[in-house]
Structure 1
């Protein structure tokens, strides 16, 4: 970087913001397309984020008729909001890219038939390989460099970003670029979910400030189940669970993963729930431990054998990390509604492949791979077609300038936003009355911080932006939830428990001073006549 006054200035063709799977796949794809690439991450690329902390399964299906069958199955479950072309492209691209990962040396296990088993990835090993490939591809990696704002030219075309270097005393940096890929992850509101401490909605706020639309924010309400004292939310173990109330009486739940819904309903209403993995066959119990050791570690430390002893569980908010909403995409290259800005991974809406339900680990894992590749190529192509011009003057952005000492502190703002998102009766089970209450509260909070938050040390100057992003995201979630007057997928309205077929479209939301919602004019594209609306 070159210094310009007190700001480090750098120039590149494609700037990737983020450090998880989508960001690294985007960086690699942009390099493959001939671009110079810089990647900036709030944390350390390859170790920050939900995937690095655990891993995920993959929606990975070989070429052939089974792919179309899988698309039909997903359409039937996803509330009729998906797009078949996107689903097939994600399946094709993730299949190809996983072959690349194998060539780069990822140690996939081998089955009895001698074939590699590629249906899941161990997060630390996966992201270690991705960082190494990004580095060897010539990408400039700037760790601990959180971006705080996007920059645009006089025509509103995104041409870079600015931020701070956390490990250099908070020194400011500015990077100009021919195009930007936002792969900043989802929004978990600092709920404590495993690996999501960096997922605070920064990318959504930065994009909205330059005019981007969002979609599916009413589906940012995913919760997982974890031991009461733990944060590991790999809920697949619970497909073998029996659930009990605090008196030891069994809950009348269905077998398999569907049983979690009944447990969550009881927890949302303030009841204690216990789980025991007693439905797991003896011969797979060690396999379960080997597959997800982090799930069993806190139980082992507490002296609990979860196959024999019931343990208390709680609901943990995962938001759009495992939910669905994010930036609206306008083309197959993952372009957003703002020229020069592309989105990938959890920062982008996944309604196109998951509709109104959670992508879980598998669909979200493949989406990160494919959307990263699409966005990286798209950004590289945009950069080649458009010369970078001078940055226009930046408008005032909430959280970039400190307010008075008496202004709300970052912690106060975060807690206030969390109060209207994290409780299950605010997000897991919604009602018009509670949504109106929350909407009014977060609107007041947004006005309260408009003049800035209480000063923070320079090296923590990104934290007010995190807090502002959480408030903005809470406003969009609430507005979209009020606009969807029905129950569909992850969006559960106690006052409107049925599906309204007039709402078989995606809902867009955006705005800062004034939040707006409207129907997406692009309708879902289904290949299955049997898909439910």
Structure 2
């Protein structure tokens, strides 16, 4: 079975898939541009996703030339000098505007520090609660618990809508639209990192199915430090930590730049790493509790003082949620290379402002609200230019793996098999983090086989299709990642190869990757992003 009845048949000028920061800013911008907007969330808009699960910093810098220069220069080296100063400046400008609007129009309760509102961070639950309220006031319609399953295209290949499933009603839906914004988040491969299990890379799969490309997928091996007894990955706090082996001896280098590699090796060797946040001053400890209260909840319940007691830590895969890879952006309005399709937030590449090093919380947060704003406006403009007959176009469903098998259908079971392969070939540190071609190639062979099985035999409808499509998206992500990692025969940014530890000046370029059944990788010429008219 490959489809289901569509009792809900809707139209909109702009469809936004995803209800996190990028999706809500996109919906707001499109509505303010005069578009009729429908926002579709896999969960409940305002509560699902990593931002809604905790606090986050924001790359907010006053428009003072020296401060902006310092902000842009601070991470260029870490990212392998693949970022773009023009895009950095655009994001800083847009983030400054959006954060000020958040204070004045959404009345976000920023704390006062030294007599000024402190706008370099937000509490995720409150931020997203206010964003949901704001977009609804702007006239945006929201369908919660309604994951998108595939894109719809017209006869010219222009994206013209979506099809999905409403979980709570157990029915399908279709939306005919003038343009679609994919703000579905990155891919954390069901690692259980806090708030990330809704982030299975769905949007990138849908984009690839209509011909869009990815960029920076080799920079997608982000792992966050977390206590073994919780899924909270607030890695910045471990800058105040001292790390130990299981026998209590100091673990040298674990707290330095690149220290997660030291932690990963020790976890592989002995299975235990301990730490304590003993380097924080009393004032810093108080600020940390105020800034990230959910970080301390489990400690307090267990009677552990993280500032004095040693506790065990692990590394949880965050993939493209904290990495920089995603759908390649083709224009200033965050249009992709496919007409009618736009991308924003973690679903899109963040190389433009981060290069090859993790955007973390602050840069990714700034990118989400900025790219969301541009994508929403761009989508509204594209839709308005279509004219009469927009919703009367003949549409074709673009979804493949997990929906429409090319061979003998074998049900939805192949999805669970594929998820198991992802866990075995993508989660382990020695395959995805401490990368070596001798380990990447066999892992990739297993992932290729999983894709083939999904593509030829897995077909599902309804709720089962949500799971099989997530499986297909994760396998696709892993294959793009490993193909790109093998193509970059050097160590740059997060993409480090143990057999190629040095930086190669001849590889000072981004890598574009695409395809599904057959994957290709090629260098991207610099300055290929077009300026929107």
> What TM-score results when the alignment is normalised by the length of structure 1?
0.94
How many residues of Structure 1 are paired with residues of Structure 2 in the alignment?
519
Contact 1:87 1:352 in 2 (8 A): yes
Q: Distance in 2 between matches of 1:396 and 1:358?
A: 30
Q: Distance in 1 between matches of 2:21 and 2:107?
A: 16
Q: Secondary structure at the match of 1:218?
A: coil
Q: Secondary structure at the match of 2:352?
A: helix
Matches within 5 A, 1:427-446: 427-446=432-451
Q: Secondary structure at the match of 1:211?
A: coil
Matches within 5 A, 1:349-360: 349-360=349-360
Q: Which residue of 2 aligns with 1:251?
A: 251
Sort the Cα spacing of 1:524 and 1:87 in 2 relative to 1 into closer, same or farther, 3 A: farther
Deviations 1:417-452 (A, max 9, x none): 221111111111111111110111111111112234
CA RMSD of aligned residues (A): 1.9
Matches within 5 A, 1:60-459: 60-65=60-65, 66-103=67-104, 104-112=106-114, 114-169=115-170, 171-253=171-253, 259-387=259-387, 388=390, 390-394=393-397, 397-401=400-404, 404=409, 408-453=413-458, 458-459=462-463
Sort the Cα spacing of 1:412 and 1:469 in 2 relative to 1 into closer, same or farther, 3 A: same
Structure 1: gaps (5+ residues)? 526-533
Sort the Cα spacing of 1:455 and 1:380 in 2 relative to 1 into closer, same or farther, 3 A: closer
Q: Distance in 2 between matches of 1:382 and 1:333?
A: 10
Sort the Cα spacing of 1:325 and 1:268 in 2 relative to 1 into closer, same or farther, 3 A: farther
Worse overlay, 68-77 or 214-223: 68-77
Q: Which residue of 2 aligns with 1:59?
A: 59
Worse overlay, 490-499 or 265-274: 265-274
Worse overlay, 300-309 or 49-58: 300-309
Q: Secondary structure at the match of 1:425?
A: helix
Q: Secondary structure at the match of 1:430?
A: coil
Contact 1:240 1:256 in 2 (8 A): no
Deviations 1:502-533 (A, max 9, x none): 111000001011000001123499xxxxxxxx
Deviations 1:201-227 (A, max 9, x none): 100100000000000001111001111
Contact 1:151 1:391 in 2 (8 A): no
Q: Which residue of 1 aligns with 2:469?
A: 465
Q: Distance in 2 between matches of 1:5 and 1:500?
A: 54
Q: Distance in 2 between matches of 1:524 and 1:381?
A: 22
1:405 Cα shift?
A: 5.2
1:411 Cα shift?
A: 2.3
Deviations 1:82-103 (A, max 9, x none): 1111000000000001111001
1:78 Cα shift?
A: 1.5
1:267 Cα shift?
A: 2.8
Contact 2:6 2:174 in 1 (8 A): no
> What TM-score results when the alignment is normalised by the length of structure 2?
0.94
Deviations 1:145-182 (A, max 9, x none): 1100001111111111101111112x111111111100
Q: Distance in 2 between matches of 1:455 and 1:509?
A: 28
Please state if 1:494 is matched with 2:495. Answer: no
Q: Secondary structure at the match of 2:396?
A: coil
Q: Distance in 1 between matches of 2:78 and 2:396?
A: 47
Contact 1:236 1:257 in 2 (8 A): no
Contact 1:159 1:391 in 2 (8 A): no
Sort the Cα spacing of 1:366 and 1:379 in 2 relative to 1 into closer, same or farther, 3 A: same
Q: Secondary structure at the match of 2:397?
A: coil
Q: Distance in 2 between matches of 1:333 and 1:311?
A: 46
Q: Secondary structure at the match of 1:462?
A: helix
Structure 2: gaps (5+ residues)? none
Q: Distance in 2 between matches of 1:516 and 1:385?
A: 33
